[in-house]
Amino acid sequence: MQSVKDIAFSFATMAVVVIVTIISVPLFLAQIGAERYGALAIAWLVLGYAGQADFGMSRAITQRVAALRGANGDAGQAARAIWSALLVASAIGAVAALLVFAVVGWFFGGPFKINPEIATELKYVALLLAISTPLVNIYSVAVGALLGAERAQLVATFHLLSSLCLTLFPLAAAYLVAVDLTTLVFAAFLARLAVTIPAVAACWGQFLRRQPVRSSRTEIGNLAHFGSWVMVTGLVGPLLVISDRFLIGAILGAVAVAVYTIPFQVASRTMMIPYAVMQVMFPKLVRGTDTGSHANAREYMVVLGSVYAVVVIGVISLAEPLLRLWLGAGLDERSILIAQVIMVGLWANAVAQVPFGFIQARGDPKFTGLLHVAELPIYFAVLVLLGSAFGLAGVAVAFVMRCAGDLLALLYRAKMLDRWVAARLVPTALLVLAALAAIRMWDHAFAPYAIAAAFGAPATIWAWASLPAALRQQLLSRLPMRTA
């Protein structure tokens, strides 16, 4: 029951982020314009990507702390593991900062297409992003340790604060200080600092107070063995996600980045459902037996795929009226198709979170790392091919193809590609694809609502039937009962 509460709390905090994003985007566009927003979106991506450059210490320390709790490890051993993770993450963060400074400086000063007058505002952006990188790494290790101790609600709160600050600090700076990009990115740096301090304080109170400041070569070795492959995934995985934005910026310019990023940013926020589930369940998959964790993961995956499909179908069907209501005259028509196509890829990505988490929880991060390394050149080639041929729509289709391939590979490795899983996920996938086909073929003002009802209703029924009987009973017991 506690797991359900933790998932619900994580979901609620992520829902707040979605609402703030929806409100903030039109405000940003009105104040700073599409070109500056496109550049700021890339800066946000770099900040998020830099958080993966911690040698896998965040996921590694989650796995280590959860394993120590399961084996009744002492507090001193957990503290040594955390100090070791912080040491490695800080050192790697310093190296990553140099790389961020070099790469971002080159990109903004070279291939990135933007108005020359606005380009002068990018002078100090690379430096600010570089300075932020070690902060992101330290924050990631702190919340990773807390998650290993199953402080899921506290971690969800910190993630909420992080997302809100990264949005609201630059927004406040744009309206109260200046609209130039250096000011906006400096505000984002202050946001990172404002969240890192309390996260480290919470980690200190939970694990490190009254413990000696001592790292361990053994712990560093254990964490590095696990974390090195996690870092491969952490570096290459996000690169698979953000490479489309850099490609669009180089080929089509800053405005096209905004056109693509706005629907992608909002659509991807719906991933709060799978993220909330896996944030809570990962430590449990670590501590369980091989057989028990595998059975639980398969059940989580089917439930997650079925429930999330209802959201996906709703967004696909209602993307046009929602985007028009949201952006008004500022809506670029291309954003509608992008949002609809991206949701198909996000459904596959949501389902893939479970076998991905299961594989890492059971101590096999090498496969996920190698998978993403193998995918990267193929995906980039497909991006260039489809992006050059079909523009932004081609980029969105390439994203869907990568997510689908990723899902199949992870299912195969996790030994979840079987008839039982197929019988429960294939009908859901067909409903999602049918909703996309219907909304693209039926051009009528009433079509979005009719399609949402026609495909959303059976998807909802299927999702309810997919829930475990015990969970259905718990949910029914919470419904208000009327008495005569």
Q: Mind listing the pLDDT tens digit for each residue in 308-317? A: 999 999 999 9
pLDDT at 30 over 50: yes
Cα distances from 133 to residues 127, 138, 422, in angstroms, run 10, 9, 41
Check residue 343 and give its pLDDT.
Answer: 94
Single-letter amino acid, residue 421? V
CA gap 435, 451 in Å, rounded: 7
Mean pLDDT, residues 148-158 taken together = 83
Q: Is the dihedral of CA 267, 151, 163, 226 positive or negative?
A: negative
Output the pLDDT for position 231: 61
Q: What is the mean pLDDT of the chain?
A: 83
The answer, yes or no, to whether residue 22 has pLDDT greater than 90, is: no
Distance, CA of 145 to CA of 142 (rounded, Å): 5
Distance CA 319, CA 482 (A): 37
Band (pLDDT 50/70/90 cuts) for residue 245 is confident
| Residue boundaries of the structural domains of the chain | 1-228, 288-476
Predicted pLDDT at 367: 85
Across 25-38, average pLDDT: 86
Cα 128 to Cα 130: distance, rounded to the nearest angstrom: 5
- Which residues fall within 8 angstroms of residue 433, CB to CB, at 6 or more apart? 344
More confident residue, 250 or 338: 338
Determine the length of the chain.
484
The span from the CA of 190 to the CA of 121, in Å, is 18
Q: Determine the Cα–Cα distance for residues 122 and 199; give it in Å rounded to an integer.
A: 30
Cα 160 from chain centroid (whole Å)? 13
Report helix, strand or coil for 18.
Answer: helix
pLDDT(326) > 50: yes
Angle CA(399)–CA(373)–CA(249) in degrees, nearest 5?
Answer: 45
More confident residue, 279 or 37: 37
User: In this prediction, what percent of the chain has a pLDDT beyond 90?
Assistant: 26
| Residue of 430, 395, 402, 397 whose CA lies nearest to 305 | 430
